[in-house]
């Protein structure tokens, strides 16, 4: 079972690699059969190729995206939730997307599932 420190380190790497544009480093945090549902209610993407396509789509939608931890992660055993803000810059304007992520982890603290809860109605200018 992963420790709290290992889960925190994975979450921090998740935020850092995404913000830095490190596609391969970010994808390496996931298990080969991991799932991503972002936002919740959309199609679940499964596996490295599908999650990589999610990365590509997300990064193509904005000039820059920076993920900032607001609270957490907290949880038990193999599951944790955390609050973050996605700061997306498009054409010189930065918008903030408040998000709650819920993740499950393997024994070695790799991400086996990720679900992102956010709503377009909550997006606001920075």
pLDDT in tens, 64-99: 999 999 999 998 889 999 999 999 999 999 999 999
Domain residue spans of the chain: 4-119
Tens of pLDDT, residues 52-65 = 999 999 999 999 99
Residue 107 has pLDDT above 90, yes or no: yes
CA distance 103 to 7: 10
> Which phi and psi (to 5°) does residue 31 adopt?
-75, 160
- Does the pLDDT at position 51 exceed 90? yes
Task: Please return the burial class of 16, using the count of CB atoms within 10 Å of its CB with bins 0-12, 13-18 and 19+.
Answer: middle
Nearest to 18 by CA among 93, 121, 97: 97
Give catalytic residues, as residue numbers: 14, 38
pLDDT at res. 77: 85
The pLDDT-based confidence of 44 (bands split at 50, 70, 90) is very high
Q: What Å distances lie between residue 123 and 14, 40, 103, 118, 119, CA to CA?
A: 21, 16, 22, 9, 7
What is the pTM (predicted TM-score) of this model? 0.95
Domain 4-119 has CATH 3.40.50.300: no
User: How many whole angstroms separate alpha carbon 40 and alpha carbon 118?
Assistant: 8
């Amino acid at each position: 079972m992963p420790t709290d420190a290992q889960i925190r380190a994975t979450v921090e790497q998740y935020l850092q690699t995404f913000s830095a544009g490190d596609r391969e480093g970010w994808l390496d945090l996931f298990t080969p059969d991991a799932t991503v549902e972002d936002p919740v209610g959309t199609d679940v993407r499964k596996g490295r190729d599908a999650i990589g396509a999610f990365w590509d789509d997300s990064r193509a939608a904005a000039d820059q995206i920076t993920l900032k931890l607001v609270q957490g992660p907290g949880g038990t055993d193999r599951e944790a939730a955390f609050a973050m803000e996605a700061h997306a810059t498009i054409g010189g304007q930065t918008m903030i997307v408040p998000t709650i992520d819920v993740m499950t982890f393997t024994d070695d603290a790799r991400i086996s599932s990720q679900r992102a809860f956010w709503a377009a109605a909550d997006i606001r200018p920075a």
